[in-house]
Structures are given as C-alpha cells and as structure tokens.
Structure 1
Amino acid sequence: LAVENYALLRRLWTEDVVDWQGKYRTPLQGFTSTPRPLDGVAPFVWHGSIRTPEIAEQAAYYGDGFFHNNIFWNIEHTAQMVNLYRRRYEHYGHGQADQAIVGLGGQFFMRKNSQDAVNEFRPYFDVAPVYGHGPSMEDFTEMTPLTVGSPQQVLERYLGMVEHVGHYQRQGFLIDHAGLPLKTVLEQLDLLGEILPEMRKGYAEGRPAHIPEAPTHASLVEKARVAGTLTEHRTVGVDDVTGQSPYEAALKGAN
C-alpha cells in the first residue's frame, strides 16, 4: 500500500494530468492535484520505518531520506535497517552509501541528577501501555535507545549512534511519552535546549566533507534550476514561515 501510494503521489506532484489505476484505491482519470508543489519542485521526503525493509528499499529507489524510528528496537536492528538503505541507495546510483540521507528517532527523560530522572520517570514507565508489564526500566534502557538519566548521559548515548549507523543528518526525539504532564514535557524541552549546541557540534565533528546535509527546499530549487528543469509557469510566493520563495527571488534578481 505504501509503495503504490507513494508512486502515485510522485506522479501527482510531477504531472499536470494523471490517469492511474492500481490495486489499493479508486482509479484516477484526468486528475490534477492542487495545490501544486511550491516552485514546481516536489518536497524532500523522509520514509519512516521501524522494521519494514520494503520502506528502506523504497526510500533508496527514489533517492529520498530514510528515517528509522529507533525507539523500541536494539541498535543492532537499527543499524541493519540503515545499512540496507545505504547499500540500496548506492545501488540505484544516487551516490555513495555513506552519502545516503539518514535520520534517527530516539527518546529520553532527563534531570540534572541521573537518579532523580530514574525516580521520577519510573512511575510513568511502569504504567504506560507501550512500556509497562514487560521488561524493567533498567532492561528497557539497556536494550533500546530510551535513555533515562542526566543531560550528559543523553548527549553521550546519542552521539554514539554514529558508531553504529555512520554519519547521519537528522536526530529526532520523542519527548511527550508515557503520559508525562505538559509541565514536565516543557521542562524536558528546556533541558534538550541546553545540550543541543554540544550535540550539533558533536555530530559535525569528524564528518567527511563529501557527506551532504539533508536537502532543503532552496537547495532543491537550485538543483532544478541548474538542471534546467525548473518551470516558470509554477505558482510562487511568500509565506510567513520560510519567507520569499527562492525561485521568486531568483526571478527578481534576473530582471
């Protein structure tokens, strides 16, 4: 279903009128999808998966990003999935395996003092449906990326992911888990903010120059412009989040 739907989505992004018939949804006849992609350039897509090799294969086939959930499985499983994606990315001619665009999930509970973190999080862990009635919190944190401790412990554990999956472009975190109250979630965000500069610095250290950053809309527009595939009839504009369209700015600069 995911493979078929995504193949259709790409056609809807790149073709003005689509005739399509598949296995899992109603056929389309003379269908035009609106609104069209900004600047006529489809967004960069991350394909997320926990344990489905077909999703890693799909991401590699299109040269898209692969985001591994990395929450409930051991790091060996995560590395196996990421390495599959990297090999197939290279197989399809998008670049070297280590240049594939990878993201990882993660989860933590932090307090300044590690024992305070353990004591405070345990009652939530023990009754949360997704955690409770299974391994102890100590076993779960050993077997999975869940890290309960001090900010330094969280920092060191997630910087260590590079040793298992190679250099990667995105690290996401699940913070509002296990029924934590809003006040506590916001405190977790504050603590993450304190270690974020060091985390970014750590991920950047030792990264070879040939390993790219994850594409942005602006970089995709520029790539299309250089390739001569940027179409001037597409709608352009300004939004209050990203500002002026890079394509519109380029057009104004040329006039």
Structure 2
Amino acid sequence: MKFLAITLISHHAATSPTERFGEVVATAQLAEELGFDGFGVGERHEWPFLSSSPPVVLSHIAAKTSRIRLFTAVTTLSLLDPVRAYEDYATLDHLSGGRLELIIGKGNGAAQAKLFHVTTEDQWERNRESYELFRRLWREEKVTWSGRFRPALEDAQTWPRPLQRPIRVWHGSATSKESVELAARHGDPLFSANVSNPIEPYAELIDHYRERWAHYGHDPADALVGAGFAGLYAARTSQEAIAAYRPVFQARLDYQRKAGIPIVFPTLEDAIERSSVLVGSPQQIIDKVLRYHRRFGHEVMHIPADAEGLTPARHRATLELFQSEIAPVLRAEVPSRPFPSPPSSPAASDDRVPAVAGGTS
C-alpha cells in the first residue's frame, strides 16, 4: 500500500494566511522525511480554505522537497479553463522534476460554483468536457477542438510541453457515478473520497467503477483504486488516542453544525465504529484499514496532513507512529504497484514510449 498526506488548507483566525501556508510547506517536508509516498493539496474557492491555487503551493513544495510525489486533491476542472490549467500543471510538472499527479473532480461548495458561474445542471458536463480537452492538450502538439463552455481551438499549441507524457490523472469520486464513468471510460485510476459517510456508498461506487472498467474493455487487473480516510490519531493505547482526539472531533462537529452540514456521526465512538476516521492503537488502525481494503481493494490511501487542533508535538508523534509501526505492516499486507518514476531524460518522456494500462508502471 502507498500513503499520501493531503490538505485542503483550511484556515481559522489563530494564524495568519502567511503562517498557515508555512505550516503546509513544513508538513510536506515532514511527510517526505517520514517516508510518505505523496503529498496533496486540494482546491477550494471559498472560506475557510486557502487552497485556491494548488499549482502555486505545490511549486513551492516542489522546491523544498526532492522525492515525494505531489498530488492535487482535487483539481476542480469544472471551474477552470482547461487550457490555463494545462499551462499551470505542465509548468509544475517540469519544476517538480516529473513528480506531479492530478486528482480531478467537479469540486464541492455552492459559493465557489457561484463565483465561477457553474450550475448543478452543467457541472458534470463541464468537468467531462474540460478533462477531455485537458487530456488532449497534454498528449498532442496541436489541438483542434470545439465544445460548449470555452472558445474553440484550431491548431492550438500550448507551452511548455510537459515532462511526463502522459501524466497520470486520478478521478476523485464522492457520491456520483459521473466521475466513476469518466475514469473507467478513459482507463484512469479512481480515488474514493470515503470521508463523510459509512463505507457502503463508497464501496458501491468502486464496484460500479470496476464493472464499467471491464465494460470499456480494460483488463480488470489494471484497475487502480485509492481511498481517503477522515482523520488520524495513533497512540500506544486506544484510551490515550480517544482522549487526545475527542476535542478535535468535537471542534469538527461544532463547525458542521455552524455551517449547516448534516451530522452523520454524532459521537466520536460512532465515528470510530462506522466512519473511516482512524483513531486508536497501531493494531486497531491496521485492522480497520485492512477491513476497508477487503471491501475496496484499494492500493493507495490518504490521511489528513493537518494537525486539526492537535498540538504540534502530538501531530508529529502520530505521523511518526503511523510511519514506523502502521505503514510497514500495511505495505507488507497489501501489494501495490509502484508509482510512476520521474523521467530521467527527454527521451524518457517521449510520446513514443507506450503507457502501461491503468497509468501505472
């Protein structure tokens, strides 16, 4: 199994935006130091998030790290001009030495949809159209194209040409089949959100992805799935972990109530039992992840990168414990295909090099 740490860069009044961005970069450096496989930055365009520009944040992280793969989580293509998104991410691909991977999706939040004049009626069609153009721009030197939501292109050339040809693109999936269908059609990997509800709705979408993957003629063995987890606090005993995490969980409940978000898991005990939050001893967390794996078949998982109210010392301690005692067991128990290697020379990224099915190597 492979492990990502992901942040949406939520922000509250305790720190300035400058300090919050500094925390994110420091956490990415810590994730690399501890042995995480990837670090992801989400994209949101509304309060309380500062993640409106993932390519800028990830470019800075790329300069401060050397090995860890860099993910978007997610790139909201339904809101973006795919040509501009291509330019940003092709540039970042070079600056990171070919360490970039994208997770795309339509995005969440009424405020950001209003900001970009996207409606519930057209958001999925925008996401599909933008991705299909983005995909061509990444692969083709000149593109002629027309669609509904941006001006047509005729023999359009975009610069820079990317380092990775092609880049691996995951499709973020929460509750709708549209993203699952798009991933399966193009032979791309799927990343299940798996954070807001019990396991079964997410499992059903993953089952649907595998069914549609086979429908489009792809080898079932090449399907690749990732899954998110809603929180992490590991300690030597479950009692210690629950006591330390309870204020964090209560703050989350308070925010959900204030924001009018439906409460799915009203107590920490209920969340530990029915949600994907990982709170407990190392063995308890291992057992829970393996239970999810038996249902999902996922090879990659992400955990929240942020302290979420934990003290810096406790935050570092739980990440260290995760990597020293939990990750090694899960890596041994769940075989996973290697992540793509960064291109070592221009020839390594030549279009003539065949891509492995499913985007893995």
Shorter-chain TM range is 0.7 to 0.9
| 1:109–1:149 Cα contact (<8 Å) kept | yes
Secondary structure, aligned partner of 2:334:
helix
Could you say which residue in structure 1 is the equivalent of 2:296?
A: 165
Tell whether 2:329 aligns with 1:198: yes
Could you say which residue in structure 2 is the equivalent of 1:26? 151
Within a 5 Å distance, the mapping from 1:8-23 to structure 2 comes to 8-23=133-148
Asked if residue 120 in structure 1 is aligned to residue 250 in structure 2, the reply is no
Q: Following TM superposition, by how much is the alpha carbon of 1:31 offset from its aligned partner in structure 2, in angstroms?
A: 2.0
Provide Cα deviations, 1:181-201, integer angstroms capped at 9, x if missing partner: 433322221011112111111
Q: Return the alpha-carbon distance in structure 2 between the equivalents of residues 90 and 24 of structure 1.
A: 31
1:84 to 1:214, Cα distance in 2 relative to 1, 3 A:
farther
Give aligned pairs, total: 216
Asked if 1:68 is matched to 2:192, the reply is yes
Q: What secondary structure is seen at the aligned counterpart in 2 of 1:93? A: coil
Aligned to 2:101: none
Structure 1 residue 110, shift from structure 2 partner: 1.1
Encode CA deviations 1:152-195: one digit per residue, 9 max, x unaligned: 111111012222123x3212212425333433322221011112
**Gap regions ≥5 residues in structure 1:** 205-211, 218-241, 251-255
Q: TM-score, normalised by structure 2?
A: 0.55
Q: CA deviation at 1:128?
A: 2.1
The DSSP-based 3-state class of the residue aligned with 1:161 is: helix
Deviation string, structure 1 residues 101-149 (Cα, Å, up to 9, x no partner): 1111113211111111111111111112587544111112222111211
- Partner residue, 1:188: 318
Distance change in 2, residues 1:11/1:246 (3 Å): closer
| Distance verdict in 2 for CA 1:192–1:93, change over 3 Å | same
* In structure 2, distance between residues paired with 1:243 and 1:10: 19
- Which amino acid is the alignment partner of residue 164 of structure 1? R
CA RMSD of aligned residues (A): 2.4
Q: Counterparts of 2:254 and 2:186 in 1: how far apart (Å)?
A: 33
Q: Percent identity?
A: 34
1:199 aligned partner, one-letter code: L
Cα separation, 2, equivalents of 1:47 and 1:130: 30
Q: Distance in 1 between matches of 2:339 and 2:346?
A: 14
1:174 corresponds to 2:299: no
Runs of 4+ in 1 over 6 A off after TM superposition: none
Residues 163 and 349, structure 2, Cα contact 8 Å, conserved in 1? no
Which residue does the alignment assign to 1:207?
none
Q: Aligned ranges for residues 1-255 of structure 1 at < 5 Å?
A: 1-38=126-163, 41-96=165-220, 98-106=221-229, 107-128=231-252, 133=257, 134=263, 135-166=266-297, 168-176=298-306, 178-194=308-324, 195-204=326-335, 213=337, 216-217=340-341, 242=342, 244-245=344-345, 247-248=347-348
Once residues 200 and 23 of structure 1 are traced to their aligned partners in structure 2, the CA distance between those partners, rounded to angstroms, is: 45
- Unmatched 5+ stretches in structure 2: 1-125, 258-262, 351-361
